[in-house]
Amino acid sequence: MLNIALFGPPGAGKGTQSDILVEKYNLHYISTGDLLRKEIAGGTQLGHDAKNIIAKGGLVSDEIIVQIIEKTIVENSESHGFLFDGFPRTYVQAYILAGLMIKLHTSLNCLISLELDEEESVNRLMERGKTSGRSDDNEMVIRNRLREYYDKTLPVLQVYKDKGIYAAIDSKNSIDQVNSDVDKVIQNELSKNLLNIVLFGIPGSGRGTQGIMLAKKYGLEYISIGTMLEDEIKKKSKIGLKIKEQRESGLLAPDEIIVQLIEQKLENTKGAKGFIFKGFPRTLVQSYILDGLLQQHGSAISEIIDIEVPTLDAMSRLHGRSKNEYAKAYDKSTDKIINRMHEYEKKTLPVIEKYKTLHNVKKIDGVGTFDEVFERVSNEIEIGFRNL
Ligand code: AMP
In tens, the pLDDT along 209-230 reads 999 999 999 999 999 988 898 8
Q: In terms of domains, do 184 and 61 share one?
A: yes
**Into how many domains does the chain fold?**
2
89 & 154 share domain: yes
Task: Point out the domain boundary residue: 134, 162, 192.
Answer: 192
For residue 287, what is the DSSP state?
A: H
Which residues form the domain of 222?
A: 195-387
162-168 long-range Cβ contacts below 8 angstroms, 24+ apart = 165/108, 165/109, 165/110, 165/111, 166/110, 166/111, 166/113, 167/110, 167/111, 167/112, 167/113, 168/112, 168/113, 168/115
36 lines ligand 1 (CB under 6 A): yes
pLDDT tens digit sequence for 121-172: 999 999 988 898 888 888 999 999 999 999 999 999 999 999 999 999 999 9
Nearest ligand 1 atom to the CA of 58 is 12
> pLDDT grade, residue 50 (50/70/90)?
very high
Alpha helices in 203-254 (DSSP H): 207-218, 225-235, 238-248
> Domain check: are 172 and 209 in the same one?
no
- State yes or no: pLDDT of 387 exceeds 70: yes
On whether both 144 and 286 belong to a single domain, the answer is no
Residues forming a β-bridge with 222? 276
In CATH, what number is assigned to the domain containing residue 62?
3.40.50.300
Q: What is the pLDDT of residue 135?
A: 84
Domain final position from 138, 162, 192: 192
Q: Are residues 175 and 201 in the same domain?
A: no
User: Which of these, 219, 246, 243, lies nearest to 231 by C-alpha position?
Assistant: 243
Nearest to 311 by CA among 203, 200, 199: 203
How many angstroms separate the CA atoms of 72 and 70, rounded? Answer: 6
Q: What secondary structure letter does DSSP report for 366? A: -
Q: Are residues 144 and 65 located together in one domain of the fold?
A: yes
Q: Does one domain contain both 178 and 284? A: no
Is pTM beyond 0.85? Reply is: no
Relative to the CA of 86, which ligand 1 atom is closest? Answer: 3
Closest-lying ligand 1 atom to the alpha carbon of residue 88: 19
Q: How far is the CA of 145 from the centre of ligand 1 (A)?
A: 9
Q: Are residues 188 and 205 in the same domain?
A: no
* Residue with CA at minimum distance from ligand 1 atom 3: 33
pLDDT of residue 227: 87
Query: Who contacts 31 (Cβ-Cβ below 8 Å, separation ≥6)?
Result: 14, 15, 18, 85, 86, 87
For ligand 1, is residue 59 a contact (CB within 6 Å)? yes
Residue 93 CB less than 6 A away from ligand 1 = yes
Q: Tell whether 363 and 281 lie within a shared domain.
A: yes
Q: Residue 222: its pLDDT value, please?
A: 95
| 377 shares a domain with 234 | yes
- C-beta of residue 35 within 8 angstroms of C-beta of residue 117: no
* Tens digit of each residue's pLDDT (9 = 90 or more) over 169-190: 999 999 999 999 999 999 888 8
Residues 10 and 156 in one domain: yes
Domain shared by 19 and 155, yes or no: yes
CA 157 to chain centre: 22
Single out the residue in 192, 221, 239 at which a domain terminates.
192
Mutate which of 49, 60, 66, 150 for ligand 1? The one with the most ligand atoms within 8 Å of its CB, which is: 60
Using alpha carbons, list the distances in angstroms from residue 116 to 11, 125, 137, 151, 164: 8, 12, 17, 16, 21
Q: What is the pLDDT of residue 46?
A: 93
3-state secondary structure of 84: strand
* Pocket probe mutation, ligand 1, options 59, 134, 152, max atoms within 8 Å of Cβ: 59
Best of 36, 53, 114, 142 for a ligand 1 pocket test (most atoms within 8 Å of beta carbon): 36
Q: Is the CB of 64 inside a 6 Å radius of any atom of ligand 1?
A: no
